[in-house]
Every structure is written in structure tokens, then in C-alpha cells.
Chains A and B, each alone.
Chain A
Amino acid sequence: MKKSIYILIGLAVSIFSCAKLEEEPESFMAASDFYRTPSDAVTAVNSIYFLLNAGSNAVQTPYNTLFNTGMNFMGDDENPGPGATNPDVRSQSVLGHASTGLRVLQIWQQHYSGIKKANIAIEKIPGIDFGANTKLRERLIGEAKFLRALYYFNLVRLYGGVPLILKDLATLEEAHSQPRRNSVQEVYAQIEKDLIEAATVLDPIVGGADAGRATAGAAKALLAKVYLTQRKWENAILKANEVITGPYGYNLVQNYAEVFLPIYKNGPEHIFSAQFKSVSQGQGNNQAPRSVLTGVPGIVGSYADQVVFYSVPDATKPGGVDKFFSVYKLYSKKDKRRDVTFVTKFKSPTNGNWYARLNDPAIPGDSVPFFNKYWDPATVSNLAESGANVPIIRFSEVLLILAEAENELNGPTGIAYTNINKVRRRAGLDDLTEGLSQHQFRDSLYLERRLEFVFEYQRWFDLIRQRDAAGQGILESSLRKVGKNNVAPKHYLFPIPQQEIDLNPNLEQNPGWL
């Protein structure tokens, strides 16, 4: 009997020390155990790029659909197609949205998530021992600054002055802080500072396994665009020239299609692009199937976006009106870009038949054009796996930045003509008519940008930036032209997301938004 009680007590005591209260993470790493080695630093910087493709399939991110559904759909080139079903998106596409719009919040939220990753890298990497390889350390910090600048550049253009968060908000107290909005000038000053510092430490060229990382050329090109947006013409010219003449090896590719086809990715025209990759756990370009007709056997298209159709007078059409005018018809017949940018029919890989959708059965040959820039011939049966990159800035834009800034500063000089004509010649077009006035040249340049960059998440930024001869913004007149009559002056800026104001009452709403 004594024995059994000893056994019992033994049993109790042996288990006594088992249930440890210390937590030892098994399926994640704690931040406190990280940021110690150069390899940690590389990994930390990689995570900042994540937002560019943000491969998490269920989620739209800026360069993976979100800048269409949450931004460009409001513009004059793109509309939601029949397959775009989200009421928030449809509401926003007719400019009927409010500060509670889902996409308005997502764009804000996601950019700040990118900024946090940059801030922590910039804060932690200087404390990591790189041994002799201090150049790598500087480069990584430069990449982080480049990306932080890009993310703030998007925010300041869309929302105006936003809170400038430049350190990692690591404690609860900091994370709960309710920052006020900085001024537009303060945000731009920080963007310029980050890009200038990045340009001095980044490599001029990267290739091979590093292709897609930020480079000194990318920092300067983005800086040129930042200056252009602020109408700092001299600086824009200076930086564009540095990109063109610097040791970066940029050039126009002669075949416009090769700018986009995945097998030519990161070619000489690429300066900085969102990198996509097929069959790699969510790194496919989800935009690709959204621009494809539904019901084509063997191709999965969701027809979630399409061109904006609007009416223009046309004597050749019934009733003297072409009801199906769109950006597609703005291209001249010679323009090689049109048939790279759009397709009007799809060949089924399973039965070989061609499929199209007619605008009006009474007008044969006038079928719906579909955007085609992110089509990946290698993933036709599963286009959401498209490996097509999204250009964020490419060489032809630097040429057009130079031409635009030159025209604004000095009028349509030879420099302005030379640079726009480089872009036109590559497209198979004649040189721009000689002897244009400054205003005429500007209009030609705006059109050139629109045709060159359609569907590259650029149009909305141009609509809110560009000004006409009278110095007025072009947004309202451009949208009224295509029947988007809800447009109002308030639309030059996004509303600050209501959910954010609810959590941070220090944020002031933009004018005109409730």
C-alpha cells in the first residue's frame, strides 16, 4: 500500500515540471531574433518589394490589379467589364464612391504596409555587421529608400499631403499614434531626399539573379518624374538627361511587343518594373485574365475590364454617331502599338476557333478591343499565372519626360522634338509635325503618353497632373468627354479613407469629401 502512494506521488511530481509557460515560437520568427546578419538584411529588403506583386492571389495590390479597379477605372481609358462585380469598384468607376470605398482604403493601407517594411530596414541595417562588404549595406539601404520614395510618391499624388512616417513604429504606443497629415511640400521633400541618397549608393546596372532590384538609374528616372509632377522643369530635364546619358545602358527596344512579353522581361527599356513570375505561389499577374473575353474554350477570361466606350460624331456610322468610340480608335492606322496593346479576338487553344464580341451586330468588324499588355503566351490555359511584368518606369517615359519638361520650360525646341520623335518612330509613326506652338506640342505629348502607356497604371496619374493651355487641370473635361459626368473638382484627390479617420481623428478630410 505504501508503494502505491509513492507511485502516485511520483506520477504527480514527474509531470509537475512539464507544462512550461515560456513561449518558444515554432512556426514563426520573432522580430527580436532577426536583423542580425547580412542575409537577414537582404531578406528584410526583399520584403519591401513584396507590395509590387504581393502575390497573395486573393488580394489585389497596387501593381497587381488594384490600380485598375481602385483608380484607372475612374478614368477615360478603362471601365469595369461585365466580370467586375464588386459594388465598391463599380461605384468608384462612375465616381459615385465615398470615403468609405473599399479600394480607397486598400490603396492607403497597402502603401503604408510597404513603408513600414522600408522604415524598419533603414533603421536596422546600419546596425548589422557586414564585415568588409559595406557596399552591400549601403546598397540595401538605398533600395529601401527608393521603395519608400515610390510608395510616398503614389500616396502624395493620390491623397495629397499624408502623414510622413519615417521610423519603424515598433511599440504599441507608436503604432497607436495618431499622426497629422504633413504638407504636400514636406512629403515631396522627403521623396526627393530619399531618391537622391538612393541614387548615390545604388548600382548603376543589375542583372542576372538581381534583375528587378532598384538601381541608380531607376532612382534618377523616378526623380525626374517626381520633379515633372511638381512642375520643376529644370530639375526634370537634368535628371532625365542623366538617365539617358549615364552608364545605365537603357534603350528603346525596336519591337514594342518585346516591352511586355515575359520572355524579354527586364530588357534594355526596363528601368523599374513590378516583377511577376508564373506558377510561383501567387506571383502571377492577375490582371491578365481580367482583360480576356469569357467563354473562350481553353482560355480562362473573366472580362473584368474593358475600354470606356463613348459616342463621337462619325458620318460612316448609322445615325452619324459612333457609339463605340474608345482609346482603341485613337491610334492611327500606322501605329504598331495598337495591335500590341489590344486584341479584338481570341483563338481557342482547344478547338482552334476564333472568338470575339461584336459591339453592334449591325456593324461587322467592330468588335470589343481587349487590353493585351499582360498576356503571357506560356500560361494561356491559366492566365492568372501570367509572368508579364508591369513597367513602373521605362525608358520611353524618360524620353517623354524630357520632351514635356523641355516644352514647358523652353517651348517646342529641337530637344523636345527629338525625344518625342524617338518614341513615335519606334511606334512606326512619322515625326511630329514641325512648327507646333507650345500648346499644340503639349497636346500632342499628352496624347503620346496616353497611347504609349495605356493600361500601365499611368492614366489616372496623368489625368490629375496634366494641365491644359489655360493652366487648368484636364481631369474634368477629359471625363465629361466620355460621359463620366459625376466628376467634380474634389476628384483631383482621393478621400482619406473613413476607417482611417475613425481611428485617427487627427486626419483632416480632403476638400469636397464628406
Chain B
Amino acid sequence: MNAKEWGALRNDALINSNKSPQYTAAQLDSLGEGTDWQKAAFRQAAIQNHNLSVLTGNDKTRVAISGNYFKQDGVLINSDFERYSGRLNLDHEYSNRLRIGSYITASQISSNVAPQAVVPALLLMSPAVPIYNPDGSFVLRNLFEGVYGNPINTLKNQINETKTGRFLGNVSAEYKIIEGLTFKVLAGADVLNNKQNRYLPSTVYEGSGLGGLAQVGSIFSTNWLNENTINYTRRIKNVHNLNVLAGFTQQESVTKGSVSGSSGYATDAFDYNNQQAGNVTSINASGFAPSPSSFASRWALRSFLGRVNYGYRDKYLLTVSLRADGSSKFAPGHKWGYFPSAAVAWNASNEDFLSQVKNLGHLKFRLSAGLIGNQQIPSYQSFSQLSYFRYNFGNNTVSGFAPNSIANPNLTWEKTAQYDLGADLGLLKDRVVIAADIYYKKTTDLLLNVPLPSTSGLWNIVVVNGSLSTPNPQVYQNYGAVENKGFELAVATKNLVGKFQWSTSLVYAVNRNKVLSLGDGIDQIIPNSALPSIAAVGKPIGSFIVYETDGVIPVGTSPDKALTPAANKNPGGQQYKDINGDGKITQAGDRVIIANQPKFIAGLTNTFSYRNFDLSIFLQTSYGNKLYNQNRATLELGTGYTGASTTLLNRWTPTNTNTDVHSAYQDPAATISDRFIEDASYIRLKNLTFGYTFPEHLVNKAKVKNIRVYISLQNYLTLTKYTGYDPEVSSNGQSAIDQGVDNGAYPNSKTFLGGLSFSF
């Protein structure tokens, strides 16, 4: 929407709210095109990737060394990512019984990160606001009621750096005790050191009231791992094949971090490098915490495992395994989980009666059943933790402590029982290879961050993307059961062999998800009423619960008969379906549940080569998935406070009544409806690579083994009806319930890469 159209919208909103319009017709004309905020912020950005590898050694020792430099500019101005890394692999045969090896990588990453709130601000700035003042300085903020700092100013002037140094190394030794019996020990460490430097200068809106705000944070994390396994292999008379493995592994991770900040600087000259020149205050800009804080967190995992593989004449295969895992994250007495599994397979093609079948490469049937565990929750969730609550008496600060979580003495492993039946088939000398699987998984003791009623008294305030969100307090619990059942098919074919080669690989997957039960006989959980997401028994997890829109309120409807829960009850306001027919729209009676998971997903890769040319094309598709486009919900409010969607050009006005787009109106509360649920099916060209390898006889003269040039396109083409930035994105990716809500996360970018590689 251009500025003139937007100005007319603002006038409408004011008039419909019984206020005077802001612009005269002449003023509207002078607004013209206005500012295209997105165009000003997005750019085409470059990537460089340089790699150098050296392999050397003799028959006892092998060494591989490589170095890599990667730099990617962000699609938003002033954002980038740069990585240096080096790797050393060492493998030495000390004797015919003892081998030792080592693997070390070190890397340094520096990145300028675009502040999270920028993407929504780019959408929500009014086009009637210019980027610059006539004197060339930045306009500070949106000039209307929706206050957003000028995002271009933020991108150019706010400092938001992160630097990460990482060292990952392990040493291992393998000792052959007797023939077939080996003992292996591995010790490894992953050490990560992260520093974040941020400065919000007084020249950007968020920092303008603060005299600048500097924040420096660091995280130091150590993760070590130790694996000890003993392995016995025996083959008896080419009939029996036996492999037995037993082991013990353990892992520990310790993370400590701290943040300091201060504000109120006399000058912006120091950036974040002189915090003592400011004050430690209470002022908080979105995402910044000026008060000092520090934390420590640890988890540990210990496992015992045993596995037996037995094969009879390579026809009948049996695997039985058992592992016992202990996780520190669970409550005392509930830390250990026991996870058995068993699998049988029949290599039918090794049977005599099938060995004569023409064109049959291999045929195998598989059946497996097993239990697996999940412990992916934060540490310390079984405690009732005390939080710090500060106050003051007589103008002196005093300390307060009170519990802010609930003890969970039964917190334990989430378990998934899974059953899989599959077959592998190879035809025409394995030019056609097919693998098909059907599975059923049932997850019980689901680890869910369960919302509690506020009457529980827990204090839970979080800031999401710079704006305050008030979800209910939540506690990790083993809560309910979910099933997943599905079908997976993979087909790989070599369509043409010979000079011109063409091969195809297709993967296709269907999954159906259903919540079987929630704790204590509860039917549904809505963690946050500002979002449409729900977990409801009998429905896929993370479905949407929404009102159904039903055109606009017709002319002649009296406000008390208007079918809407919102403030605008005038003709032209959004109308909703009265599902229960009681003549009014209520949360209890008129919301419907809409599933949003894909009907299927698939990927198709075609690879061609001819002489020295090679081409690979990877297409990915998802069909039937839906997203709630939260940005659009905001952009279609029609308040005249913020930027607006072009959909509103067709809004209801007294002269444009034949439309389903509601009128402009000030002060609406956002209403969650099916209007913003969109089909996010897509077909995407994930990757296309075209390369040429120089003929050996040419390059060998230059003492080079191999030279290859290529171009590569990533995410280059997407066919979708989805109107948001990216149908593949979910802002709330980690949370099982809130997936499917898109509120303007940083999108996947289209990439065009060219490359050159040498081997010596």
C-alpha cells in the first residue's frame, strides 16, 4: 500500500471511530508513493566459502588437515556471518593391536545480527513516514499511534555482535584383546565460548530516552563425553554371524553465563566498551537487560548399553538391544529409563528359491519394535525454585525470595514405543531401489510445558520479539500421550547409465498425529490466548482454535445483533459465524479447531552427468500444511496506526459494500480467526547445482589432481499460495504446541553460489 492509499485508510479509520479525518484531499495527493520500508532494508547479499584440505601419511599414520573460511552477508543490511575453522584428523596404528586416533576442530564465528524486532517493524511502519528528515538525519519513529523505531536507523546504528569460539576434540584408542574382541575408549570435549556485545545508541528511538544502552554478555560452556565399549565379533562356518556389544557412556555439560549493562552515557562514542561511564538503571529496551545477571546450569547423562546381532546364513537377521539411560534432569528416583528394542529381518533374495528370479537384485523384509526415551527439557525442572523479588523500605533495597515454580517429584523420561514394518527391494541390478516403511509410534509420559491457571500464583512474564506476552505459568510435566502413524517411501533409480547418466531419488512421507490424552482427563490446553494454538484430545497437536469469519456485518444490522466479539459492531465490521446459533459470538460456543499439519511431504532429486558436466536438482514439497499468519492479522487490523496490507484497499466503505474485507476502525482488539490461517503448501527448488570438472589430462600438467567449477542455487524458486515471507518458517519452532504460528521470523534466503575447487 502506498502512502496516499494508507492516508485514505487512516482517514476512514478515524471517521468510523467518530473522529475527524487527518488529511485533506490535497494532503493525501501530496503523500504520493511514500516509503517502501522493506525495499530499504533487504538486499542481495554475497556468500564466500573457501576450503583447503591436505591429506598425508604413510601406511601406519594418516593425517588430514583442513582450513575453511566462510562469510555470508545477511539479506538485511548490516547483518553478516563470518566463520574461520580448522580441522585436524590423526589416525595412528601403534601396533597391530592398538590404534589411536584424534579429531580436533577449532572455529571462530563473528556475526552481526539484525535485532529481532526489525522484521515486524519493517512491515508495520506506515508508508507515510519518511526514512530521513529533510536535514538528512533519521526520522526517529513511526509518527502514528503504533510506535516502532525507524528500523533502517536500527539496522544501521544499533550494534548487535556475537562472537563464538569453539574447540571440539576427542581422542580414541582401540585395542584388540584377542581376535574378534576389541575394547574401545573415547574421550572428547566440546568447549564453547560466546560473547555478545550490544549497544543501543541514543540516536535510535529505543535508545533515545536512555542516553545509550550498552550490554555485554558471555557464555562459557563445556561439554565432555566418554565412551567405553567392548565388541565381540564371530563368524562360524559361514553360517552364524554374531556381534555383541556392551558399553558404558557418560556425558556432562556445564554452562555459565553473565550479562552486564548500563545506560545514560554522555556520548555514544564508547559503544559497549566503557560501561563504567553509565549507570545501572531499571531502564529496559526490548531485548536489552541493563541489570547485571549471571547463571549456572549443568546436566549429565550416563548410559549402559548392550546389543546382540545375530545372522543366520545372511538370510535371517536378529538384533536385540537394551539401554539404560540416567539423566540428571529428572526427579530423584525417576532418573533412569530402560529402553529395549528388537528387530528381525529376512533377506529373502538370499533364499535359493529366489536367487534365480530374473532382475531381482535384493529383497529384504524388516520388522522392529522398540522403546526410545526423550529428555530434552531444561535442567532443574523437578525443583520448586525460588526467584528473587526485590523491594525497598526507607529507600533501602531489601531482598525477597518466593517460589516461582512447582516441584515435580515424579518428573521422568518421555517414552516412545515404535513399531516399524518395512521392505527393501532392488531390481534390475539395483538400478531401481525401493524402500518402504509403515510405522506406528506412541509417545507416553509426554514432556510438555503445561500451562497452569493463574490462580496457581506463579509469576510468568516473558518478552517475545520485543513485545510483552503473558502466557500462563508453565511447568514441565509428563502429561498425556500422542500417537504418530505414517508411511515412508524412498525410490532411487538409475534411469540412464553410460555416457549420459541420469538418476532420480524420491522420498515421500505421510504422517498422522493425534493427541490421545492429556493429563488428569483434561480435554484441551490453550497455552496462550494471544495465539491460536491448542492441544486437544483427538486432534493433531498444535492445531488452531479460531472463530470463523463470515463476511462483514451487513448494512442495517443493529449493533446489539452484530455477530462479532470485537468492538466494531457497525455495518462493515468483521462478522463471524454463530456456530452454536445463540445469536452472539462467544469464546465458548463459536470457535472451531482446524488441523494444520501437512498431508504429505516429499523430496525429489535428479542428478545428471555428461562427460565432465554434472547437474543436480532438488525439489521439496509439503502439501496441506497451514500457517497462522500473525503478521497479516496485524497488517489487516485497519487502524491507521501502522502500515497496512493491500488487502485493505478493497475494504468495506459505504460505497464499497460488496466485499468481505472489513472497514477501517481505530482501537480494535486483534481477534483470532480463520481469516489468517493460510494454506502453506509449497514446492520449492531447494537446491540446483551445475558443475564442470576439468579433464584430468589437462589439469595434471599443472600438478593439480582435480579442478571443478560450479554454480549453486538454494531456495531459488518457491511455488506457494502463502502470503507471508516463507512457508517453511515457524517462529515458535521449539514448542510443540505453538508451531504453525508465523510472526515474522527471519526468513530463509535465496542463495546463488558460484564455486571453484582444486585438489592437489
- On A, residues with C-beta under 8 Å from B are 1, 4-5, 8-9, 11-12, 15-16, 18-23, 25-32, 34, 40, 42-50, 52-53, 55-60, 82-85, 87-88, 90-94, 96-102, 105-106, 108-110, 112-113, 115-117, 119-120, 163, 165, 168-172, 174-179, 207-213, 265-266, 275-277, 279-284, 286, 289, 300, 302, 381-382, 384-385, 387, 486, 497-504, 514
CB distance from A32 to the nearest CB of B (A): 7
In the complex, which of the residues A20, A47, A55 contacts B282, with contact meaning CB atoms closer than 8 Å?
A: A55
Q: A27-B296, A93-B667, A486-B567 are in contact. Are A171 and B407 (CB under 8 A)?
A: yes
**A27, B296: Cα distance in complex, Å:** 6
Instruction: For the complex, give the distance between the alpha carbons of A216 and B602 in Å.
Output: 72
> Chain B 163-197, CB within 8 Å of chain A: the 1/0 string?
00000000001010100000101010000000000
In the complex, what residues of B have CB within 8 A of residue A98's CB? Answer: 565-567, 669, 671
Closest residue to A34 on the B side, CB-wise?
B386
Which of B214-222, B377-385, B645-653, B700-708 touches A? B377-385
17 A-B Cβ contacts within 8 A? A18-B250, A21-B327, A22-B332, A25-B380, A25-B383, A26-B298, A32-B407, A50-B402, A55-B282, A56-B461, A96-B568, A105-B529, A106-B470, A178-B453, A213-B393, A286-B282, A504-B453
Given the interface pairs A91-B669, A169-B456, the reply to whether A212 lies near B394 with Cβ below 8 Å is yes
CB-defined contacts of A50 to chain B, threshold 8 Å: 389-391, 400, 402
B671 cross-chain contacts in A, Cβ below 8 A: 98
Known: A8-B175, A21-B327, A170-B407. A277 touches B397 (CB 8 A): yes
B296 touches A26 (CB 8 A): yes
B668 CB–A CB distance under 8 Å: yes
B393 touches A275 (CB 8 A): yes
Q: How many residues of B contact A (CB 8 A)?
A: 117
Q: Which residues of B contact A502 (CB under 8 A)?
A: 524, 526, 529, 587
Chain B residues with Cβ below 8 Å from A265 are: 395
Q: How far is the CA of A102 from the CA of B670 in the complex (A)?
A: 11
Q: How far is the CA of A96 from the CA of B461 in the complex (A)?
A: 25
Give A300 Cβ to nearest chain B Cβ, in Å: 4
Instruction: Collect the chain B residues with CB atoms within 8 Å of residue A91's CB.
Output: 567, 667-669
What is the bound-complex CA distance between A385 and B210, given in angstroms? 11
Q: Does B463 reach chain A (CB closer than 8 Å)?
A: yes
Does A21 lie within 8 Å of B335, measured CB to CB? Answer: yes
Closest-CB distance, B399 to chain A (whole angstroms): 5
> Could you say which residues of chain A place their CB within 8 Å of the CB of B187?
11, 15
Extra pairs beyond A22-B328, A171-B406, A384-B282 (7, CB < 8 Å):
A18-B226, A29-B386, A30-B384, A46-B400, A49-B391, A91-B567, A501-B587
Which of B394, B407, B528, B586 has its CB near the most chain A CB atoms (within 10 A)?
A: B394
Chain B residues closer than 8 Å to A94, beta-carbon distance: 17, 567, 667
Contact B185 A12, beta carbon cutoff 8 Å? yes
Give complex CA distance A254, B649 in Å. Answer: 60
Which A residues are CB-close (under 8 A) to B146?
85, 87
Q: Is the CB of B395 within 8 A of A31?
A: no
Q: With an 8 A cutoff between CB atoms, is B472 at the interface?
A: yes
Q: Name B430-461 residues within 8 Å CB distance of A.
A: 450-461
Judge whether A27 and B297 touch: CB under 8 Å: yes
Does the CB pair B185–A112 fall under 8 Å? no
| Shortest distance from the beta carbon of A108 to any chain B beta carbon, whole Å | 6
Q: Closest residue of chain A to B460, judged by CB?
A: A109
In the assembled complex, the CB of B128 is this many whole angstroms from the nearest CB of chain A, namely 15
Residues of A within 8 A of B286 (CB): 58
Task: Look across to chain B and name the residue whose beta carbon is closest to the beta carbon of A82.
Answer: B145
A512 to chain B, nearest CB (A): 11
**In the assembled complex, B364 has its CB within 8 A of some CB on chain A:** no
B497 within 8 Å of A by Cβ? no
A residues near B587, Cβ cutoff 8 Å: 99-100, 498, 501-502, 514
A165-B457 in contact (CB<8A): yes
The residues of A that contact B173 with a CB separation of less than 8 Å are 4, 8
In the bound assembly, the distance between CA atoms of A34 and B388 in angstroms comes to 13
Residues of B within 8 A of A284 (CB): 281-282
B250 touches A209 (CB 8 A): no
Q: For the complex, is B133 an interface residue (Cβ under 8 Å from A)?
A: no
With A97-B669, A281-B390, A498-B587 already in contact, the answer to whether A175 and B475 are too (CB < 8 A) is yes
With a CB–CB cut-off of 8 A, which chain A residues contact B524? 502
User: Would you call B393 and A514 a contact (CB within 8 A)?
Assistant: no
CB-based contact B457/A28 at 8 Å: no
Assembly CA distance A286 to B468 (angstroms):
16
Q: Which A residue's beta carbon lies closest to that of B386? A: A29
Contact B175 A100 (CB under 8 A): no
Chain A residues in 8 Å Cβ range of B525 = 503
Top 10 nearest A-B pairs (CB, nearest first) are: A116-B457, A96-B567, A47-B400, A46-B400, A282-B282, A300-B209, A50-B389, A499-B529, A57-B284, A31-B384
B85 an interface residue at 8 Å Cβ cutoff?
Answer: no
**Are B300 and A19 interface neighbours, CB within 8 A?**
yes
| Residue of A whose beta carbon sits closest to that of B477 | A172
Is B637's beta carbon under 8 Å from chain A? yes
Minimum distance in angstroms from A97 CB to a CB of chain B: 6
A382 touches B385 (CB 8 A): no
Q: Which residue on A lies nearest to B184, using beta carbons?
A: A8
Whether B145 and A101, one on each chain, are in contact in the complex, defined by CB atoms closer than 8 angstroms, is no
In Å, the complex CA distance between A44 and B530 comes to 33
Tell me, in angstroms, the Cα distance from A8 to B669 when the chains sit together: 67
A266 touches B394 (CB 8 A): yes
**Which B-chain residue is minimally distant from A50 (CB atoms)?**
B389
Smallest beta-carbon distance B62→chain A, Å = 20
Q: Is B643 an interface residue (CB 8 A)?
A: no
Q: Give every chain B residue within 8 A of A165 (Cβ-Cβ).
A: 455, 457
**Structural contact, A57 and B282, CB atoms closer than 8 A:** yes
A1 touching B95, Cβ below 8 Å: yes
CB distance from B624 to the nearest CB of A (A): 27
Judge if B295 is at the interface, Cβ distance under 8 Å. Answer: yes
Assuming the contacts A8-B185, A176-B452, A282-B291, asked whether A212 and B457 have C-beta atoms less than 8 A apart, the reply is no
Q: Which of B564-581 contact A (CB under 8 A)?
A: 565-568
Most chain-A CB neighbours within 10 Å: which of B457, B458, B526, B530? B457
CB distance from B355 to the nearest CB of A (A): 45
Residues of B within 8 A of A115 (CB): 457
Quick one: which of A4, A21, A96, A504 contacts B98, CB cutoff 8 A?
Answer: A4
Bound-state Cα–Cα, A302 to B206, Å: 11
CA distance A514 to B667 in the complex (A): 19
Q: How far is the CA of A84 from the CA of B667 in the complex (A)?
A: 11
Given A87-B639, A117-B402, A275-B391, A12–B282 Cβ distance below 8 Å?
no
Is there an interface contact between B147 and A83, defined as CB atoms closer than 8 Å? yes
Q: How far, in whole Å, are A300 and B407 apart by their CA atoms in the complex?
A: 44
* A30, B454: Cα distance in complex, Å: 21
Cα A207 to Cα B228 with chains together (Å): 66
Q: Which residues of B contact A57 (CB under 8 A)?
A: 282-284
CA A258 – CA B672 in complex, angstroms? 48
Q: Bound complex: CA of A53 vs CA of B301, how far in Å?
A: 42
Please indicate the chain B residues that have their CB under 8 angstroms from the CB of A87 in the complex.
146, 637, 639, 641, 667-670
Q: Is A499 in contact with B384, judged by CB distance below 8 angstroms?
A: no
Residues of A within 8 A of B637 (CB): 87
Residues on A with C-beta less than 8 A from B379 are 23
Please measure, in the bound complex, the distance between the C-alpha atom of A165 and the C-alpha atom of B294, giving whole angstroms. 34
Which residues of chain B are near A5, meaning CB under 8 Å? Answer: 175, 177, 183
Partner of A58, one of B264, B284, B459: B284
